[in-house]
Amino acid sequence: MRFFIWMVIFIISFISFPIHGHAAPDVSAQQAVLIEQSSGRVLFEKNADEQASIASITKVMTAIIAIESGKMNEKVTVSRNAIYTEGSSIYLEQGEEMSLTDLVYGLMLRSGNDAAVAIAEHVGGSEEGFVYLMNEKAKWLGMKNTHFDNPHGLDSETHYSSAHDMAILMQYAMENPIFQEISGSKRYISENRSYYWQNKNKLLTIFYEYCTGGKTGYTKQTGRTLLTTAEKDGMKLIAVTLDAPDDWQDHMSMFEWGFEQFEMKEVDQNGEVVTDKKNLSEDTITLPLYKHENDTWAKEVYLKGEGLSCQASNTVLNQQDGNEKDRYMDDVAYVFHSILRWDTND
């Protein structure tokens, strides 16, 4: 009886005075990751390096290659092969001419598989040629658990990535102002159409005020995939979920957790947080660190010889079971650029 009373008291105390700390967000996804955009620091992960099908978030790679091709103002003649691509569509017609810019908007906002093939054929010379470019780009970015078979994301045994790899890709893509504009557009009208394309990313259009962009994905075999970005109080985050029945909520939970736990702090070249704003100099940079607790991540990175310049390297942190480890993206430079309704393969 006495044991029972003590248990009741313990439960009441636990409910009345919840434990605060780094408790990770609960997500429905099989694979998930949350990173800070400027540094690439991994704030939360769940099976983030596990290879899996990714569906239409594939199109982020298709979009960034198209944008970097320098052909965005060119007219693309739509092939028979493109219009007969299965899955989601922007309803192109054979022989229709549409600007590459319009096709990329149709690709990102409406997830057009026909647009993906039309883009691939124009930029890469053929669909196969474009897929080669996709895989070369993935290697260059350090996406070690990724292989592309197509530009749209329809299921294939050898078309896969990981949540972390897709976050790396989005981190790179979001440095491009054209990609930022397209990814963050709620609607768009092509000069070839009399109606607007509405963005399928409901986190951007309806659910989450801090969302700045992203890409949806779905096939029956793969399940729901989602890649989104958000910004609040000067901090930019990237979230990826694969096979997530409740992906909208997953992303909002991860973002809110990240914004609550972390903030951007000025750090000197010794990895020390600069508390006196008078000491700010060109040698200090801003990094995501825990708000209310001692966070030695920046110092550990510095001591390992990586330095702290985000323009020199992207260093990421993998948190597993409360133990912090440093993970490095090999040969990834900070690059400056010149410049929902769910359908099949959404």
Burial of 321 (0-12, 13-18, 19+ CB in 10 A): exposed
Does residue 338 register a pLDDT over 80? no
Specify the 3-state DSSP secondary structure of 253. helix
CA distances from 337 to 19, 36, 122, 315 (A): 45, 20, 21, 20
Name the band, by pLDDT with cuts 50, 70 and 90, for residue 169: very high
Specify the 3-state DSSP secondary structure of 166. helix
Pick from 43-47, 122-126, 175-179, 329-333: least confident:
329-333
- Which residues touch 341 (CB under 8 Å, ≥6 apart)? 200
Residue type, 195: Y
- Give the pLDDT confidence of 182-205 residue by residue, as tens digits: 999 999 999 999 999 999 999 999
Does residue 110 register a pLDDT over 90? yes
Cβ atoms 285, 310 nearer than 8 A: yes
The pLDDT, as a whole number, for residue 331 is: 32
Q: pTM for the full model? A: 0.83
Cβ atoms 73, 108 nearer than 8 A: no
The pLDDT, as a whole number, for residue 227 is: 98
Residues carrying an active site annotation: 56, 59, 111
The pLDDT, as a whole number, for residue 96 is: 98
| Token pair 């995939």 in the structure block, residue | 225
- Which residues touch 178 (CB under 8 Å, ≥6 apart)? 67, 72, 339
